[in-house]
Amino acid sequence: MSFTYDFAKINNNVPMIEFLDSLSLKERAKMFAYIDKLIELKNNGIQPKENLSRHLRDGIFELRVSFENRISRGFYFYESNRQIIFTHGFVKKEEKTPAREIEKAILIRNLLKG
């Protein structure tokens, strides 16, 4: 069975789609290209390098995408059956990933699990 991905839906909102909608067309295309790259690597049994994806904590990972003049992060976790669930994304303004963004990803995952 191969890896697939989906976006978390909370109270009829899909935070990752809202984030993607806030990006330019070119940035959105690059985010999807990186998501596809992540899935392709996982399906070929290749561990993604840290410049693409990195474990943060508590089973939350970040997809790291650099645009021309800014950096974005998409947060995700692994669900059973080899499914990757993207919780949300944001444009990075600081060197370090803010704890509040990691907490938000954990909260979304916990809401999904009920």
Tell me the CA end-to-end span of the chain in Å, nearest whole number.
26
* Count of domains observed in the chain: 1
CATH number at 23 reads: 3.30.2310.20
Reply yes or no on whether the pLDDT at 114 is more than 90: no
Q: Which residue has the higher pLDDT, 94 or 70?
A: 70
Backbone angles phi, psi at 113, to 5 degrees: -75, -15
pLDDT of residue 110: 95
Note the pLDDT of residue 94. Answer: 83
Amino acid letter, residue 25: L
Residue from 112, 110, 108, 78 nearest 16 by CA: 108
pLDDT at 44: 97
pTM over 0.75: yes
Domain span at residue 105?
A: 4-113
When pLDDT is averaged across residues 40-67 and rounded to a whole number, the result is 96
Three-class SS string for the chain? Answer: CCCEEEECCECCECHHHHHHHHCCHHHHHHHHHHHHHHHHHHHCCCCCCCCCEEEEECCEEEEEEECCCCEEEEEEEEECCCEEEEEEEEEECCCCCCHHHHHHHHHHHHHHHC
Q: 76, 42, 37: which is closest to 59 by C-alpha?
A: 76
